[in-house]
């Protein structure tokens, strides 16, 4: 039976109770405390405007280990050309706004609601959510954002206004920042071609909850 969460108590049921598609619970709120508890246990919110808040904990996780990143020869040429300038945490609000509003093929509307944007901007201001921005001629043409838990980057969304911009953001995330794993959340052939793979939820949680020795 699907668990209904109260706004007055911040907790989650065991992820072992998730349904086949990963749906674990509904309700609650998007407070920073609840979001951090969720991500720390391999849970994330994903819902549409008309739905209650839905919380997922997939049994298989689609992830990218930075050391397994695959970069095509054509993409290497793009990166070496100096076409893009890539930055980190320079304009989180504009990145999430762009992810929410950009038109996507075969997709109506967006799951990034105004409530979601406010919640993740608050997480960013607390230092837990981050963005990668890709610029061309001083214009924002692509990027991504997500939540950091220990040495794992839980990717939420990415966008491109020009070819290869989101790829440049992901490559920067893998090569320039100190993450053990990128949680891609949802399978795509595009991410699989760059090295993403499925792992078990147990393996995912082992990496998610491990810390640097200096953190102890």
Distance from C-alpha of 10 to C-alpha of 12, rounded to nearest angstrom? 7
Tell me phi and psi for residue 119, to 5 degrees.
-65, -45
What pLDDT, on the 0 to 100 scale, is given for residue 104? 67
**Per-residue pLDDT tens digits for 69-117:** 999 999 999 999 999 999 999 999 999 999 999 976 655 446 799 999 9
pLDDT for 50 equals 85
Cα–Cα–Cα angle for 90, 92, 95, nearest 5°? Answer: 110
CATH 3.20.20.70 fits 3-59, yes or no: no
Q: What percent of the chain has pLDDT over 70?
A: 94
pLDDT at 49 over 60: yes
> Which pLDDT band holds residue 191 (cuts at 50, 70, 90)?
very high
Model-level pTM?
A: 0.93
Say how many residues make up the chain.
Answer: 216
Ordered by start, the domain boundaries in the chain are 3-59, 62-215
Fold of 62-215: Aminopeptidase (3.40.630)
Concatenating the DSSP letter of every residue in 1-55 gives -PEEEPTTS-----GGG--TTSEEEEE----HHHHHHHHHTT-EE---TTSPPEE
Q: What is the pLDDT of residue 111?
A: 79
**Mean of the per-residue pLDDT values of the chain:** 94
């Amino acid at each position: 039976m699907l668990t209904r969460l109260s706004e007055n108590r911040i907790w989650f049921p065991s992820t072992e109770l998730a349904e086949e598609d990963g749906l674990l619970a509904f309700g609650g709120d998007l407070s920073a405390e609840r979001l951090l508890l969720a991500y720390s246990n391999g849970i994330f919110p994903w819902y549409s405007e008309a739905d209650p808040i839905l919380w997922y904990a997939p049994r298989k996780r689609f992830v990218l280990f930075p050391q397994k990143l695959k970069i095509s020869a054509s993409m290497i040429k793009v990166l070496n050309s100096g076409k893009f300038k890539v930055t980190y945490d320079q304009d989180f609000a504009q990145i999430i706004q762009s992810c929410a509003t950009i038109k996507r093929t075969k997709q109506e509307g967006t799951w990034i609601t105004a409530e979601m944007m406010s919640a993740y901007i608050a997480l960013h201001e607390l230092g837990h959510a981050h963005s990668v921005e890709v610029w061309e001629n001083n214009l924002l043409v692509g990027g991504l954002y997500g939540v950091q838990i220990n040495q794992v980057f839980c990717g939420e969304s990415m966008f491109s206004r020009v070819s290869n911009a989101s790829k440049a953001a992901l490559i920067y995330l893998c090569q320039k920042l100190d993450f053990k794993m990128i949680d891609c959340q949802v399978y795509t052939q595009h991410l699989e071609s760059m090295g993403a793979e499925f792992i078990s939820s147990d393996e995912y949680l082992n990496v998610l909850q491990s810390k640097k020795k200096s953190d102890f």
